[in-house]
Amino acid sequence: MDPKSNVDRLDCEDKIAVAHDFRQVQDEVEEYIFQHDLGASDVLLISWNISSINRIVQALKVMTNAVPHWCSMKTMAHVTNDQLLDELMAYLCFGIERVGRVMVLPETPMEWLLLGQRLRDISYDRYMQDFARVPGVFPLATFTLVRAAYYSALPMLPMPFGANSLFE
């Protein structure tokens, strides 16, 4: 990790995505938080399931005119895993401080409301609901709260009857 680099992405994010478990890379996560001057902040770590992202990307590429409503791209014909992750993070965290895929915990009720609305928008998107039914896609992401170096998983509320959950 290079704290002087302007790149928001780093090795520990890739390791988190592969491991799908922050505890396996806890030291690197804590170093990342410290190096980006987030040590005094509570942060929300988002662990994306890369195999799920890959399945969604492959499906979007073959679907005609399949662009989720939260996505700013015009077409999904040539989308990559990283582009879809960037789109998800950009939509989810717009207006909320973040460094790479680490979000500073929302401080105001409005930020929490925005985060909740965006999670809902992604979850209820018709394309994402189709993908949620595919075996192996759940969970798309898990959320972990880091407060004073204490990690606690944040469970998502279940979806209403008939809708499949994307997040754990």
pLDDT in tens, 134-147: 777 777 788 877 77
Residues 57, 84 contacting (CB under 8 angstroms): yes
Of 127, 114, 45, which Cα lies nearest the Cα of 84? 127
Helix (H) and strand (E) counts for the chain? 6, 5
pLDDT on residue 10: 43
Q: What is the DSSP letter of 106?
A: P
Residues 81, 13 contacting (CB under 8 angstroms): no
Of 13-17, 47-51, 85-89, 131-135, give the lowest mean pLDDT range.
13-17
pLDDT digits (tens, 9 = 90+) for 101-125: 666 677 778 888 888 888 888 888 8
This prediction has a pTM of: 0.66
- 47 forms beta bridges with 142
Question: What is the average per-residue pLDDT within 40-62?
Answer: 80
